[in-house]
């Protein structure tokens, strides 16, 4: 039985915790990163950081502990661990010998710069280049972004679309697609789960995978991350210049252009426009209200919508190939019209989707996204329950490996051995009437030895 | 999932009574209106930096009325306001520096346009508070389905109270209370303030008053 690989969408903090301390300290040198990290903190931690932002001396731990009431001690401890894990504050010895907390000075300075001003500009503004003759407005930027992102998703589903070698390589490395030697890559179960996520999570997962491979390409992780955060804080509709960007950053910009995160008219063009996708990126896994336009439908030009009926029929009013392919993942297509696709949810189709690694939860969440534009989500409870039941059907049986002991000559032998196995904790199953028992493979050698000793005694 | 976030709105009402500030400049040249505005802007920046969905509004209250410093009527909105608003030349977050520049410009406009006649020298604070409440009400109506808004008013009060304003003031405070928003003023050591804060002291935190004298 194939084990299901669950797609994990780490958020920013977990990713940062994995980085080494030196990289983290270098990373905090940029105000954009500090602001991004600050925004992702739990709100109690945000308050702590804000309180300590303008202090230069360490605060005693006892004082910090007094900031919360007794019954919120758990939240306080959680915050302390989060802040320490991200190296945002250090413990320092105070004069009286008590332990105190002080904010990481690099982080503190840069967050202050982000709030108050001063310091280096984040990026050179496009004002040095003068107004853009080929300026793009926001709708065309949005369209461009969704187009590019959809091309990537379509490539994953298997429709023919042109993606660069680099991108295909990245998808394979991310585990979303697999490629046999010489053949075109095809999608894996992780890839299926990826398709059903909402756009913000998809973006984030993709970026994380890219960052993981960045070091192997010879790019500086800190530089790329800082640029990414800077991008996510830029305003939509403004152009920025590429002055002062290093080689690796320019390569990164070209990759971003392919993903649809920035728009650049030509490869050599000296200004670029961040798109809505880039700005959503900093929202991380938890999407914010600014992404409500994206969450309506991952990758349709027109906002299609889906109606799920209680007779297990699905009517998808959409033209987008991607949406249709997604619906086809877990239902059987019945009819296709120019603006409607009719499909039927059957036990076989859902179970096949589940065999591919999609969970019922993901499917239901995917539909819930498509309904956010309307006031109330209309997924009939019968359908949601039934999908969950079909998923559970696959879990009815659980397989455990074991070694079978049978054909005992007497009841006493059986009982002795069974007690021994139980004492060792490796007895999986027994049937006293037939004198049969099953032992785990690990315990098998021990039980066998015991039995041999037993036999040699009697 | 998109509309789950809670919007936090902070409305700052700043008392810019020119007479009081002029006298203040003579009393203590260190603490001027521009310093006060700087501090207010830092407070606003800190609030906006906390979360993406936080909103800010700043109202200036003077003897002839009250005026929205931010968001101002001439401002086009969050996207594409790039032409007039100069970008930050330094490390400040772009959105914050745009907001700050706007506030500075607006207050400059106001101070140059005010003409103080002899009669009205008191700050019309109750009017500004009423404007703040109306703004909050309007934003509450404009929400999408499923979004919630939490709002607070921070009042930076400079000039002394005016007895004529008392009724209006109390009306505004009771109106805020009726909207199920509760108030708690921050006190100073002046006797007059003590009495006033006792009358408005209920519980919770909707209004926060900062008295500068």
Size of interface A-B (CB pairs under 8 A): 110
User: What's the confidence (pLDDT) of residue A344?
Assistant: 92
In this model, does residue A227 exceed pLDDT 50?
yes
Q: Quick one: average pLDDT of B110-125?
A: 77
Q: Which of B87, B88, B139, B147 to mutate to test the interface with A (most CBs of A within 10 A)?
A: B87
Nearest to B79 among A113, A138, A283 (CB): A138
In this model, does residue B12 exceed pLDDT 80?
yes
Taking CB atoms and an 8 Å limit, are A238 and B80 in contact across chains?
yes
Residue scoring higher pLDDT (A177 or B191): A177
Q: Quick one: average pLDDT of A313-327?
A: 81
What are the DSSP calls for A30-99, one per residue? SHHHHHHHHHHS-HHHHHHHHHHTT--SPEEHHHHHTTS-GGGHHHHHHHHHHHHHTT-EEEEE-TTS-E
Taking CB atoms and an 8 Å limit, are A283 and B53 in contact across chains?
no
Find out whether A275 and A141 touch, Cβ atoms under 8 Å: yes
Q: Tens of pLDDT along B30-89?
A: 888 888 888 888 888 888 888 888 888 999 888 888 888 888 766 544 444 444 445 556
User: What's the confidence (pLDDT) of residue A384?
Assistant: 85
Nearest to B45 among A115, A119, A295 (CB): A115
- Helices first, then strands: H and E counts in chain B: 6, 5
The average confidence (pLDDT) of chain B is: 74
Residues of A in contact with B87 (CB under 8 A): 125, 127, 238
With cut-offs at 50, 70 and 90, classify the pLDDT of residue A159.
low
Taking CB atoms and an 8 Å limit, are B46 and A119 in contact across chains?
no
Q: Quick one: average pLDDT of A198-227?
A: 79
Taking CB atoms and an 8 Å limit, are B91 and A295 in contact across chains?
no
Taking CB atoms and an 8 Å limit, are A117 and B97 in contact across chains?
yes
User: What's the confidence (pLDDT) of residue A342?
Assistant: 92
Taking CB atoms and an 8 Å limit, are A118 and B91 in contact across chains?
yes
Q: By CA distance, what is B3's nearest residue in A?
A: A289
Chain A: which residues have CB within 8 Å of chain B? 31-32, 35, 38-39, 43, 46, 50, 110, 113-122, 125, 127, 137-138, 198, 233-238, 282-283, 287-292, 295, 365, 368-369, 372, 375
Q: By CA distance, what is A371's nearest residue in B?
A: B1
Distance from CA of A35 to the nearest CA of B (A): 7
A99 vs A285, A299, B98, CA distance in Å? 35, 53, 41
| Lowest-confidence region among A76-90, A325-339, B78-92, B160-174 | B78-92
| Lowest-confidence region among A58-62, A207-211, A212-216, A449-453 | A212-216
Residue scoring higher pLDDT (A406 or A161): A406
Q: Quote the distance between the C-alpha of residue B184 and its chain's center.
A: 16
Q: Tens of pLDDT along A72-111?
A: 888 888 888 888 888 888 787 777 777 788 888 888 888 8
Q: What are the contacts of A406-410 at 24+ separation with CB within 8 A?
A: A406/A434, A406/A435, A406/A436, A406/A437, A407/A435, A408/A435
User: What's the confidence (pLDDT) of residue B187?
Assistant: 41
User: What's the confidence (pLDDT) of residue A334?
Assistant: 92
Query: Count of residues for chain B?
Result: 213
User: What's the confidence (pLDDT) of residue B181?
Assistant: 57
User: What's the confidence (pLDDT) of residue A335?
Assistant: 92
With cut-offs at 50, 70 and 90, classify the pLDDT of residue A122.
low
Q: Tokens 């990290």 appear where?
A: A37
Taking CB atoms and an 8 Å limit, are A115 and B78 in contact across chains?
no
In this model, does residue B169 exceed pLDDT 80?
yes
Taking CB atoms and an 8 Å limit, are B93 and A233 in contact across chains?
yes
With cut-offs at 50, 70 and 90, classify the pLDDT of residue B192.
very low
Residue scoring higher pLDDT (B134 or A155): B134
Identify the CA nearest to A113 among candidates B145, B89, B175: B89
In this model, does residue A171 exceed pLDDT 60?
yes
Question: In the structure encoding, which two tokens stand for residue A435, read together?
Answer: 């004198």
Say yes or no: ipTM exceeds 0.85.
no
Residues of B in contact with A229 (CB under 8 A): none
Taking CB atoms and an 8 Å limit, are A235 and B49 in contact across chains?
no
Q: By CA distance, what is B147's nearest residue in A?
A: A289
Residue scoring higher pLDDT (A283 or A268): A268
Residues of A in contact with B82 (CB under 8 A): 235, 237-238
Find out whether B61 and B127 touch, Cβ atoms under 8 Å: yes
Q: Quick one: average pLDDT of B161-187?
A: 72
Chain B: which residues have CB within 8 Å of chain A? 1-3, 5, 7, 42, 45-46, 49-53, 78-82, 86-98, 144-145, 147
What are the DSSP calls for A107-124, one per residue? HHHHHHHHHH--S--SS-
| C-alpha to C-alpha distance for A158 and A161, rounded to whole angstroms | 8
Q: pTM for this structure? A: 0.71
Handedness of CA B86, B87, B92, B98 (dihedral sign): positive
């Amino acid at each position: 039985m194939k084990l299901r690989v669950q797609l994990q969408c780490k958020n920013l903090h977990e990713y940062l915790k994995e980085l080494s301390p030196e990289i983290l300290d270098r990373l905090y040198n940029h105000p954009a990163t500090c602001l991004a990290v600050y925004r992702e903190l739990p709100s109690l931690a945000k308050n702590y950081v804000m309180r300590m932002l303008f202090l230069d001396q360490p605060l005693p731990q006892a004082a910090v502990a007094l900031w919360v009431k007794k019954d919120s001690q758990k939240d306080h401890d959680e915050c302390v661990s989060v802040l320490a894990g991200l190296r945002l504050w250090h413990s320092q010895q105070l004069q009286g010998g008590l332990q105190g907390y002080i904010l990481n000075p690099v982080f503190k300075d840069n967050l202050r710069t982000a709030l108050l001003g001063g310091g280096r500009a984040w990026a050179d503004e496009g004002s040095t280049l003068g107004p853009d003759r080929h300026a793009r407005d926001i709708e065309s930027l949005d369209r461009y972004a969704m187009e590019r992102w959809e091309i990537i998703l379509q490539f994953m589903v298997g429709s023919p679309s042109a993606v660069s070698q680099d991108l295909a390589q990245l998808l394979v490395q991310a585990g979303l697609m697999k490629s046999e030697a010489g053949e075109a890559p095809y999608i894996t179960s992780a890839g299926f789960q990826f398709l059903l996520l909402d756009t913000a999570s998809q973006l984030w997962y993709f970026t994380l995978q890219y960052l993981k491979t960045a070091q192997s390409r010879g790019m500086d992780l800190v530089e790329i991350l800082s640029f990414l955060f800077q991008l996510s804080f830029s305003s939509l509709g403004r152009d920025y210049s590429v002055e002062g960007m290093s080689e690796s950053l320019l390569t990164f910009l070209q990759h971003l252009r392919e993903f649809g995160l920035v728009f650049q008219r030509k490869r050599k063009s000296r200004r670029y426009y961040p798109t809505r996708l880039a700005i959503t990126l900093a929202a991380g896994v938890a999407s914010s209200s600014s992404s409500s336009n994206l969450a309506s439908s991952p990758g349709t030009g027109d906002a299609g919508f889906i109606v799920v009926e209680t007779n297990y029929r699905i009517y998808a009013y959409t033209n987008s190939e991607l949406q249709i392919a997604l619906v086809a993942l877990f239902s059987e297509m019945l009819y296709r019209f120019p603006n409607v696709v009719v499909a039927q949810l059957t036990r076989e189709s859902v179970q096949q989707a589940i065999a591919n690694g999609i969970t019922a939860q993901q499917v239901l969440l995917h539909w819930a996204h498509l309904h956010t534009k309307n006031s109330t989500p209309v997924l009939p409870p019968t359908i949601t329950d039934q999908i969950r039941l079909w998923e559970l059907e696959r879990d009815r049986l659980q397989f455990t490996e074991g070694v079978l002991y049978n054909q005992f000559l007497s009841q006493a032998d059986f009982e002795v051995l069974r007690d021994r196995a139980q004492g060792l904790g490796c007895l999986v199953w027994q049937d006293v009437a037939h004198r049969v028992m099953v032992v785990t493979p690990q315990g098998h050698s021990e039980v066998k030895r015991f039995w041999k000793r037993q036999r040699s005694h009697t | 999932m998109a509309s789950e976030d809670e919007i936090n709105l902070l409305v700052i009402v700043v008392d810019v009574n020119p007479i009081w500030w002029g006298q203040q400049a003579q009393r203590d040249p260190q603490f001027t209106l521009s310093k006060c505005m700087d501090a207010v802007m830092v407070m606003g920046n800190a609030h906006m930096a906390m979360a993406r969905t936080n909103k800010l509004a700043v109202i200036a209250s003077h003897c002839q009325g009250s005026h929205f410093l931010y968001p101002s009527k001439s401002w086009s909105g969050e996207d594409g306001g790039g032409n007039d608003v100069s970008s930050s030349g330094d490390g400040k977050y772009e959105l914050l520096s745009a907001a700050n520049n706007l506030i500075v410009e607006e207050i400059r406009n106001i101070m140059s346009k005010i003409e103080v006649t002899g009669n009205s020298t008191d700050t019309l604070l109750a009017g500004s508070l009423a404007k703040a409440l109306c703004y909050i009400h309007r934003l509450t109506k404009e929400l999408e389905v499923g979004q919630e808004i939490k709002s607070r008013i921070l009042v930076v009060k400079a000039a002394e109270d005016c007895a004529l304003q008392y009724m209006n003031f109390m009306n505004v405070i009771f109106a805020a209370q009726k909207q199920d928003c509760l108030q708690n003023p921050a006190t100073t050591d002046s006797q007059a303030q003590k009495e006033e804060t006792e009358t408005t002291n209920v519980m919770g935190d909707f209004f926060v008053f900062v008295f500068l004298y």
